[in-house]
Structure 1
């Protein structure tokens, strides 16, 4: 028996069969270095799958049952032929609105025309590089993609995709790093021909389910009331980021945001709504 014990102690001393050595304590292991983490690979922005026959998909609102989220979207409109009006002093930007969104901490999606980005490159770059916002495509020229769309000039079907790609090129030139693969039709006007023409561009068309009514409005309280009364969980609200055409928007937003927050709503960007579900209205 003594011989067996001596053998067991010798085995423990050599560090082998520790589990069978009841009288010895396991050797303390040095701490392991933390595993190095590889840089996170950025994921692609969420989009919808192509619609029937491969048409451009259309997104109108997020899911109604995934919590009280709402996306404020702002169209930065400027048509290709409005340069002379801008040079004469008309303002198609709205820096006080963007400042208000930053002050209130409200994420938002700005649907920008390429012509707007060229006219206001510093603002476009500032918005595009601010993580609070995301920049999406509102065409280059803000010409309509259908006939009879609020009196806008029209883009022929063979030039529709080129107009969208020209806007993305304008964003890159002014320093917007990653414009989203989302497109809003000027005036919200589209048909099957337009959806077919844009399919190769790989964008998701983004509409809305709440009209802010701020275009050419003079009563900020009325705009705010229309938005607040119309919002439901998952809503996409369309407003504007142009001083000359929507002068009351900043004041309306300062009412809309606290009121919706008091009702339990959380503001998100369009990309978060798309990621949450494929609502198409």
Structure 2
């Protein structure tokens, strides 16, 4: 499925990341995710009785690989000189959907001068409704919000994932997305992944299972590198907030488009955006319509 076919509101008028410029994205390649075969009711579905609010999944979480993680020099030797053949959001090896009917909400915290805020209203809405989510934290955001990062890491409703070190597109050739130059070599790609990785290990006591690059753009060599480092690249099939540029009605409309197995992207580093209000409006309708939610680790095999 290519980006032009996504069920996402206003994708052409807004970017994907809350601290990047916003030209229309492009992508190539295909999803390796497993599609769902059944449909659950979505927003607006009628119900003859109140629907119990789903709780975080009790399915045992997958364990990170016990294989040794290769070092920087080893990966440079392995991939240096290999030219990428694909670049974008939807390429082989990138997770775009969950592996069952549950919907996965993911929210990025990008960091930097324009992206180090904390949307407590959004997090409180998720807690109030007991809707689990996976939070992708950038190293810069963690450094700007250490106490909040520790609080979120201690909350079992949330899973903490890796959003990189300097919020750069992940490339081995310096490919660009939204005017942001990607990492320019295998060594720089390793540093972008592992700087964030190390801090998340400090926060949670375990290695993150998932990685999303700044701007969500990757090349195919970088995807292989991330996999070798014991993580999987995760993107999405529903863009919930257009890089924190959507108003509440647009966010609610975008989330109404989720289907069984969808993974959505939003942002919680932009307080005052329309994300929190739109999520708070959409989630009760989705829950009443029978939609269930899970963290990535409960709905995707790492």
Tell me if both proteins adopt one fold, taking TM over 0.5 as the criterion: yes
Matched, 1:109 2:128: no
**Partners in 1 of 2:236 and 2:62 — Cα distance?**
25
**Partners in 2 of 1:71 and 1:217 — Cα distance?**
21
Q: In the alignment, which residue of structure 1 is the partner of 2:26?
A: none
Residues 43, 149 of structure 1: alpha-carbon distance in 2 compared, 3 angstrom cutoff: closer
**Partners in 1 of 2:181 and 2:191 — Cα distance?**
16
Query: Per-residue displacement from partner, 1:99-127 (whole Å, max 9, x unpaired)?
Result: 22111111000011111111101111111
**Partners in 2 of 1:204 and 1:43 — Cα distance?**
13
Aligned 8 A contact 2:106 2:265 in 1: yes
Residues 109, 43 of structure 1: alpha-carbon distance in 2 compared, 3 angstrom cutoff: closer
**Partners in 1 of 2:120 and 2:207 — Cα distance?**
19
Aligned 8 A contact 2:122 2:276 in 1: yes
Aligned 8 A contact 2:62 2:297 in 1: no
Matched, 1:44 2:63: yes
Following superposition, the deviation at residue 156 of structure 1 comes to: 2.0
Describe the SS at the equivalent of 2:161: strand
Residues 93, 56 of structure 1: alpha-carbon distance in 2 compared, 3 angstrom cutoff: farther
- The structure 1 residue matched to 2:245, chosen from 200, 203, 217, is 217
Following superposition, the deviation at residue 155 of structure 1 comes to: 1.5
Query: Per-residue displacement from partner, 1:156-200 (whole Å, max 9, x unpaired)?
Result: 222111221111222344x33335211012211111221233343
Q: In the alignment, which residue of structure 1 is the partner of 2:162?
A: 137
Residues 234, 218 of structure 1: alpha-carbon distance in 2 compared, 3 angstrom cutoff: closer
Q: In the alignment, which residue of structure 1 is the partner of 2:197?
A: 168
Matched, 1:254 2:273: no
Following superposition, the deviation at residue 266 of structure 1 comes to: 0.8
Aligned 8 A contact 2:108 2:268 in 1: yes
Describe the SS at the equivalent of 2:263: strand
- The structure 1 residue matched to 2:269, chosen from 237, 242, 247, is 242
Describe the SS at the equivalent of 1:268: coil
Matched, 1:125 2:125: no
Considering fraction of residues, name the structure with more helix.
1
Following superposition, the deviation at residue 43 of structure 1 comes to: 5.4
Query: Per-residue displacement from partner, 1:53-75 (whole Å, max 9, x unpaired)?
Result: 99993211123xx44x1111001
Q: In the alignment, which residue of structure 2 is the partner of 1:60?
A: 96
Describe the SS at the equivalent of 2:107: strand
Matched, 1:98 2:123: yes
**Partners in 1 of 2:107 and 2:132 — Cα distance?**
11
Residues 195, 43 of structure 1: alpha-carbon distance in 2 compared, 3 angstrom cutoff: closer
**Partners in 2 of 1:198 and 1:218 — Cα distance?**
31
Q: Figure out how many residues of one structure are paired with residues of the other and give that number.
A: 216
Gaps of 5+ in 1: 1-40, 47-52
Q: In the alignment, which residue of structure 1 is the partner of 2:30?
A: none
Query: Per-residue displacement from partner, 1:121-170 (whole Å, max 9, x unpaired)?
Result: 11111111110000000101101124221112322222111221111222
After the TM superposition, which residues 200-211 of structure 1 pair with which residues of structure 2 at under 5 Å, given as runs? Answer: 200-211=228-239
* CA RMSD across the alignment: 2.7
Gaps of 5+ in 2: 1-59, 66-77, 80-90
- Structure number with greater Rg is 1
Describe the SS at the equivalent of 2:180: coil
Q: In the alignment, which residue of structure 1 is the partner of 2:109?
A: 76
